[in-house]
Structure 1
Amino acid sequence: MHQVNSVARPADAVVSAWFRGRRYIHDKDRGQILELLYALLRHHARLGWWLAKHGREDMPRNRLLAWLTLKEGKALDQIKRLFNGAKFAPASLMDHEHALLVKLQGCTIDHPGMPEEVKLECPSWAADPLRRRFKEAFGNEMAALLTSAPLDLRVNPIKSTREPMLGALKDLGLRAEASAMAPYGIRVNERPSLTSLPMLKTGEVEIQDEGSQLVAMLVDARPGERVVDFCAGAGGKTLAIAAQMNNKGHVVACDVMDGRLKRSAERFRRAGLHNIETRLLASETDRWVKRHKGGFDRVLVDAPCSGTGTWRRNPDARWRAPEEQGLDNLVSLQARILASAARLVKPGGRLVYATCSMLPAENEEQVAAFLARNPAFRAVPLHDAAPQLPNSAHSDYLSLTPARHDTDGFFAAVVQREASPPPSAC
């Protein structure tokens, strides 16, 4: 669920629209274009620093020229041959571009004069809270966010098991292995065209980061239970939860975006899951919540967040959010969503709060504030909620990072409503 405003729209949306208008581009060429684009995004701040250093306009063509020189180490003559003005080739170099390349020859992308935030591609709005969170590990964690994210798959146990899917992927010539922590997870150690994976079309597997799979596991939904995925989005965790329940019981996938719910419904059908209902909400306080107060065994709140944990997968996200709405406003929205969703939990039931953020204000501090306001709930320590999952610095919560776990950055906490009201103080 999720300015420095140089990147206004999500890169994947821009790329998808661009390719739709250019269907003549072959898969191999598409892959190379995508690889270059995401490399440029992962070096966004550093390229901008170099252009500013030499007084050049921060525009895409200048960024590409700087990239070819500083990162790919191409000589001036090589770049001239690429920018030759031929069909499908960039226009020939202008004098001021030639002058920039001359200045950049012999330099590399990193420079000792760069501020640490620039070198680590960390936007100013997130630098201080991430430094407080990671302390001496800040540099390692930020460096891990600059790597490419792996392709993680989750096997749908309704249709298959992991071993046959591993075999099928290897038969396709792919380097695939069982995930380190998620029991239904598979990691593919390369970037195939998704259209070449027939098991995606049949619903035998879904694309889902291993960390996201672990969050869904924390819900611990049982066959026959009633469960709500309160911020279902595209339905990735809903799929995992419904499969946990072996198609028995009832799952309600809620969201405020009708388009997301319609797209998720097709995924549910393809996966062979028929215990899921979609529900469009007007807001987090929709009247549907009041009508179903105390009616569910499990409630998942995968809250809208800053998305700091997804930066290696979405490198443009760090330069988009949350400047427009403000982190404080985002934290307030999370608190309202959490408070409303908690009303759905029956006595003895559990609420799972999760984000793909690594900022304490959205995670540990958010849960602590909720518990202080809601004495009917208590935290369930991670070793009780899911003893098979990795311990984190805070033993009550799941806290995953790319550097430590090679997953996206995820946070999740399990809280339980007491079966009966706590006794009054004497």
Structure 2
Amino acid sequence: MHEADSVARPADAVVSAWFRTRRYIGDKDRGRILELLYALLRHHARLGWWLVKHGRQDMPRNRLLAWLMLKEGKTPDQIKRLFNGAKFAPAILKDHEHALLVKLQGCTIDHPGMPEEVRLECPSWAADPLRRRFKEAFGNEMAALLTSAPLDLRVNPIKSTREAMLGALKDLGLRVQPSALAPCGIRVHERPSLASLPMLKSGEVEIQDEGSQLVAMLVDARPGERVVDFCAGAGGKTLAIAAQMNNRGHVVACDVMDGRLKRGAERFRRAGLHNIETRLLASEADRWIKRHKGGFDRVLVDAPCSGTGTWRRNPDARWRASAEQGLDNLVSLQARILASAARLVKPGGRLVYATCSMLPEENEEQVAAFLDVHPAFRAVPLREAAPQLTNSAHSDYLSLTPARHDTDGFFAAVMQREGTLPTERAPIKGKTD
């Protein structure tokens, strides 16, 4: 795998493509490769710091050599025996590589000379906003993002119950327990091969972080209502919303990426949900929105974001070039999406804005800016929208962090449209929206 590939595309996509061309690799070896890859990604900044310190080129092979010395504690002789040039083994060590190993002897992955951002694997573009958000808890929250994310499942109530699925998973020899907060959630304290879980194939459960399940729960969709998942992606939250409605009513899963919607449609069929329509949008201002203004009881905007809350699950995301293309650009896009999607909400209807980010610019500040220019909407405090969620890091909104809740980092704000729909200006003659 080349480092350029990991920068351009998410690591899971690169790995999946790599394994597809190497089907001879067994499950055990695949697991070890994945474990090693994600460990290297979680130590990306620190390994790079050591290579710079010793004047070495920042390349995957050097990173692996540094890892084996600094984290696994191997000796140069042990590594030399591993890099023996045999079939499926790495090429024989070169003299300059052996010299690097000698320099790293007796060292560990952390060093007192490392800047805090390097030690905590926090890219510079996110450091100031996260420090502002967490203040004295910054170090603790960043350390939590360096751990492995748990495997959470959401039971599909259309096909089964949590009690039945807990029993079925235990019968497979897995250690499981009900999720602490999500009513349909199950936490699995193992790393099973997903192919070994028949309930995934049958649509009885879906893989979904507990925090994501809680965001869908805040939509509070009722049977018979009309609901839009405006940035549906592959449909994880759409599935949860449609199941809340017991297959009654109508859910529209919108996205600007056709491939994601097609993947979602397959998941909807597997889950036995037939109240979902997929809708490909040209942009956040697609004319479909104007035609359906005020036509929906609930609208979820799971906005594209920096993804800072998912770093423990996607450790490469913090280093991919796309993450640093400009927070201002992301915030501007979110504002346009939120304003456009809000037009779909009928008077008395609910608008839920959510991100998997922990940056204030994308969350509380985004909501405040929206409410300032959309007086028809009011924020619904969390104690009113979901009184059972008492441990949020924010008094009015759902705010989850890995360190505090052991979920991905999520934010969600519930807003309600009051009064009547505003009259939109007619388009200029000869123009279309």
Aligning the two structures, in what range does the TM-score lie when normalised by the shorter sequence?
over 0.9
Contact 2:11-2:316 at 8 Å conserved across structures: yes
Give 1:9 deviation, angstroms.
1.4
In structure 2, stretches of 5+ residues that fail to align are 418-423
In structure 1, stretches of 5+ residues that fail to align are none
Distance 1:321 1:405, change over 3 A: farther
Distance 1:62 1:3, change over 3 A: closer
Distance 1:11 1:219, change over 3 A: same
Partner of 1:304: 304
Give 1:395 deviation, angstroms.
1.5
Matches within 5 A, 1:335-354: 335-354=335-354
Distance 2:23 2:337 in 1: 41
Contact 1:3-1:319 at 8 Å conserved across structures: no
Distance 1:397 1:204 in 2: 30
Q: 1:344-367: per-residue Cα shift (whole Å, max 9, x none)? A: 000000100000000000000000
Distance 1:420 1:247 in 2: 37
Distance 1:231 1:6 in 2: 25
The structure 1 segments of at least 4 consecutive aligned residues displaced by more than 6 Å after TM superposition are 1-6, 418-421
Distance 1:425 1:140 in 2: 52
Contact 1:228-1:298 at 8 Å conserved across structures: yes
Contact 2:243-2:273 at 8 Å conserved across structures: yes
Give 1:287 deviation, angstroms.
0.4
Contact 1:203-1:271 at 8 Å conserved across structures: yes
Partner of 1:420: 426
Contact 1:3-1:323 at 8 Å conserved across structures: no
Distance 1:52 1:105 in 2: 16
Give 1:185 deviation, angstroms.
0.2
Give 1:389 deviation, angstroms.
1.3
Q: 1:86-140: per-residue Cα shift (whole Å, max 9, x none)? A: 1100011000000000000110000000000000000000000000000000000
Contact 2:5-2:14 at 8 Å conserved across structures: no
Give 1:201 deviation, angstroms.
0.2
Contact 1:4-1:319 at 8 Å conserved across structures: no
Give 1:51 deviation, angstroms.
0.2
Distance 1:33 1:3, change over 3 A: closer
Distance 1:369 1:71, change over 3 A: same
Distance 2:291 2:388 in 1: 36
Contact 1:155-1:206 at 8 Å conserved across structures: yes
Distance 1:396 1:425 in 2: 39
Q: In the comparison of the two structures, how many residue pairs are matched?
A: 424
Contact 2:45-2:118 at 8 Å conserved across structures: yes
Distance 1:169 1:5, change over 3 A: closer
Contact 1:382-1:391 at 8 Å conserved across structures: no
Contact 1:3-1:324 at 8 Å conserved across structures: no
Distance 1:14 1:370, change over 3 A: same
Contact 1:2-1:304 at 8 Å conserved across structures: no
- Provide the secondary structure at the position in 1 that maps to 2:7: coil
Distance 1:361 1:44 in 2: 26
Q: 1:235-290: per-residue Cα shift (whole Å, max 9, x none)? A: 00000000000000000000000000011000000000000000000000000000
Distance 1:420 1:402, change over 3 A: farther
Give 1:37 deviation, angstroms.
0.1
Report the TM-score when normalising by structure 2. Answer: 0.95
Contact 1:390-1:398 at 8 Å conserved across structures: no
Give 1:76 deviation, angstroms.
1.1
Distance 1:202 1:101 in 2: 50
- Provide the secondary structure at the position in 2 that maps to 1:399: strand
Distance 1:420 1:406, change over 3 A: farther
Distance 1:3 1:25 in 2: 21
Contact 1:298-1:351 at 8 Å conserved across structures: yes
Distance 1:96 1:174 in 2: 46
